[in-house]
Amino acid sequence: MTRRTKLWLLFVVIWLAVLSIRIPVWSQPSIYETIREAHRLLEQIDEPSHQTIASIAQARLDRPRAIDVTHYHLQIELTPDPPRLAGAVTIEGRATAPVEAIQIDAYENLIIDAVRSDGIALPFQRTADRIILGLPHALSTGESFTITVDYHGVPVTSGVLGGGMLVARHGAVYVMANLSEPYAAPTWWPCIDHPSDKATIDIEAVVPRAYVVASNGVLERVEPVGNRKTRYVWREEYPIATYLVSVAATNYVQFEESYIALDGRTTMPLVYYVYPEHLAAAQQKFPVTRSAMEIFAPLFGEYPFLAEKYGMVEFPWGGAMEHQTMTSMGDRIVHLGDLTVQDFISHELAHQWWGDWVTLATWHDIWLNEGFATYSEVLFFERFYGWDPGELMDRSYDDHRAFGRMGGTVYAEDLENPFDDHGAIYTKGAWVLHMLRHILGEREFFAMLKDYGRRFAFANASTEDFQRVCEDHYGAPMDWFFQQWIFAPGRPIYHVEWEVMPTETSDDYTVLLSVEQVQPQRIPGRPEELERVYIMPIDITLHYDDGSSETRVIWNDARRQEFTFVVPRPPTRIGFDEGHWVLKEVR
Ligand SMILES: [Zn+2]
């Protein structure tokens, strides 16, 4: 072999190595398609509940908000064969207004053995989805209480709520793990099930001896219970919403790596619990988590649960669920392609900020979880591979149809199934952030995101709260933006025409651009003359024959509007939002 050949081979080897690390867009024309399919898969199976019971949803609406839970102590025994649950929940809280009865959510598959307070049994009334406790004396505002509920039951494994404590087998071994979002937590543990009532929680789970339990927060200890069982004690000291509380148990094997915080000193474990037969695949696929963490922390603010950990645990479901500090990953995900796994990992990790740290105020606001996590996929791909975010949004997150799969409203109108219109809450929700990014500008947009996180840290935010933060960074009211993009269905449909004419008084040329909006939908909250008008700044790019171009911004706020530009030479082509910063259909 000659020296030249060796050098040439060395070059090829290095180039192949580079290719395997970073996949350039041009080398794989199907990348946009792959990401499109990956996200679609995520959206479809990330949609937890098809058959939410109306009465449960109704309960979310009419709950008297007179109780604030501060801490839960959940003791639960999981028996897989036959599937059984048994446990005790101690609820500590206080009254935020005078209270005569406390209502605790507990679905009818749970049999309530007793309700106790200070060692005294309390009388209670049972409904299909609640326990109503008569108190020995009414609680006055600010008065605290401690109540323990003893219960047992058969897990609701599927169908009824689309979630609950799932029981399945991988090979010959059982796995039990929950999926509670949005309303299924009370099918496996009694609680005050509203996302706005966060509390800390200690979880003690007793399982068959060969099982390992993965859960929220920090693992305090593992201890034998007789000869045949083991108790795992986990403690979550950050406030957590009930739908994010999670217990997963099977013969998991564990591996971990560590994340170095933004301060350059603090380290935090990244812990992965997988089926033994998936260990090799997971060891290959999961480490991208650290890269995603290193991408998100500078953008959103430090990982919110730094004193504990971030983990992922396999569970018997198709999708993934962002349980606080311990995401549950469907047990088939590890076998999917790299880009698809990266899509899931980045989406669920981003939920730790958007969903877990800042939690939706009501299920109407689910886009604040899902739109944010979806746009975070794009932020991850943008920074990990160096891809253009507009190109990604256009090619992987758009069907280019005004009333296609993203044709609904971003605001979830139907509380019986807030995930119903998933194209709108996930993908159109992501477009809302993408558009805000261009309107606010790069610096201000990311400053706004961090500010939003800080203001609602470990608490809850509504769509209105988010709008206020955007307005503070925009420096003016943004009703015009939120009305059309959050509360109206569809998107604008534009007709665009242009012509170039020499000016009469100089050597310059006049470009006449006419923009017409032809979409039929009304925008709520608008005066009549603007009720069918999308108000948006739009980039117009003038291209010249020498290959140069310039971009000007028009403020489009009428159904039919003309814009003129005076230019020194005639453009050969005009681009209408060619950076893909506006969700639209152009006809
Ligand atoms: Zn999600």
DSSP, residue by residue, 41-57: HHHHHT---SS--HHHH
- Both ends of the chain: CA-CA distance in Å? 60
Helix then strand then coil, in percent of the chain rounded to 5, is 30, 35, 35
- The verdict on residue 287 lying in a domain is no
pLDDT tens by residue, 480-499: 999 999 999 999 999 999 99
pLDDT tens by residue, 274-319: 999 999 999 999 999 999 999 999 999 999 999 999 999 999 988 9
Quote the ligand 1 centre to 243 CA distance (angstroms).
13
Q: What percent of the chain has pLDDT over 70?
A: 90
- Provide the number of structural domains found in the chain: 3
Domain end point (choices 188, 219, 251):
251
Q: Give the residue-averaged pLDDT of 32-50.
A: 76
Q: Are residues 148 and 241 in the same domain?
A: yes
Quote the ligand 1 centre to 347 CA distance (angstroms).
6
* Cβ 252 vs Cβ 212: under 8 Å: yes
Q: Where in the sequence is the domain holding 367, given as residue range(s)? A: 358-487
ipTM score for this prediction: 0.99
Q: What pLDDT, on a 0 to 100 scale, did the predictor assign at position 28?
A: 52
Q: What pLDDT, on a 0 to 100 scale, did the predictor assign at position 135?
A: 85
Q: Are residues 76 and 153 in the same domain?
A: yes
- The verdict on residue 414 lying in a domain is yes
Q: Are residues 225 and 77 in the same domain?
A: yes
Quote the ligand 1 centre to 401 CA distance (angstroms).
23
Q: Are residues 478 and 522 in the same domain?
A: no
| Angle separating helix axes 463-474 and 429-440, nearest 10 degrees | 20
Stretch among 19-33, 154-168, 181-195 having the lowest mean pLDDT: 19-33
Quote the ligand 1 centre to 164 CA distance (angstroms).
17
Kindly report the CATH number assigned to the domain that includes residue 375.
1.10.390.10
pLDDT tens by residue, 511-534: 999 999 999 999 999 999 999 999
Q: Are residues 246 and 109 in the same domain?
A: yes
- The verdict on residue 145 lying in a domain is yes
- When the pLDDT of each residue in the chain is averaged and rounded to a whole number, the result is 91
Q: Are residues 482 and 502 in the same domain?
A: no
- Token pair recorded at residue 29: 């024309």
- Token pair recorded at residue 72: 């839960």
What type of residue is 216? Answer: N
Q: What pLDDT, on a 0 to 100 scale, did the predictor assign at position 505?
A: 87
- The verdict on residue 422 lying in a domain is yes
Q: What pLDDT, on a 0 to 100 scale, did the predictor assign at position 60?
A: 55
Per DSSP, the three-state class of 20 is helix
Q: Are residues 214 and 71 in the same domain?
A: yes
Give the torsion through C-alpha atoms of 359, 485, 425, 305, to 10 deg. -30
In total, the chain counts a number of residues equal to 587
Q: Are residues 387 and 502 in the same domain?
A: no
| Residues with CB in 5 Å of ion ligand 1 | 46, 370, 373
Quote the ligand 1 centre to 351 CA distance (angstroms).
7
- The verdict on residue 497 lying in a domain is yes
Q: Are residues 464 and 538 in the same domain?
A: no
pLDDT tens by residue, 348-387: 999 999 999 999 999 999 999 999 999 999 999 999 999 9
Domain end point (choices 205, 228, 251):
251
Q: What pLDDT, on a 0 to 100 scale, did the predictor assign at position 63?
A: 59
Q: Are residues 400 and 500 in the same domain?
A: no
pLDDT tens by residue, 257-278: 999 999 999 999 999 999 999 9
- The verdict on residue 69 lying in a domain is yes
Domain end point (choices 432, 454, 487):
487
pLDDT tens by residue, 408-458: 999 998 887 788 889 999 999 999 999 999 999 999 999 999 999 999 999
- The verdict on residue 381 lying in a domain is yes
**325 in the Ramachandran plot: left (φ > 0), alpha (ψ -120 to 50) or beta?**
left
Kindly report the CATH number assigned to the domain that includes residue 543.
2.60.40.1840
Kindly report the CATH number assigned to the domain that includes residue 203.
2.60.40.1730
Is a pLDDT exceeding 50 seen at residue 20? no
- The verdict on residue 188 lying in a domain is yes
What type of residue is 156? Answer: V
Q: What pLDDT, on a 0 to 100 scale, did the predictor assign at position 119?
A: 87
Q: Are residues 196 and 227 in the same domain?
A: yes
Quote the ligand 1 centre to 219 CA distance (angstroms).
25
Q: Are residues 425 and 373 in the same domain?
A: yes
Whole-angstrom distance, CA of residue 371 vs CA of residue 365: 10
Quote the ligand 1 centre to 107 CA distance (angstroms).
25
Whole-angstrom distance, CA of residue 535 vs CA of residue 513: 17
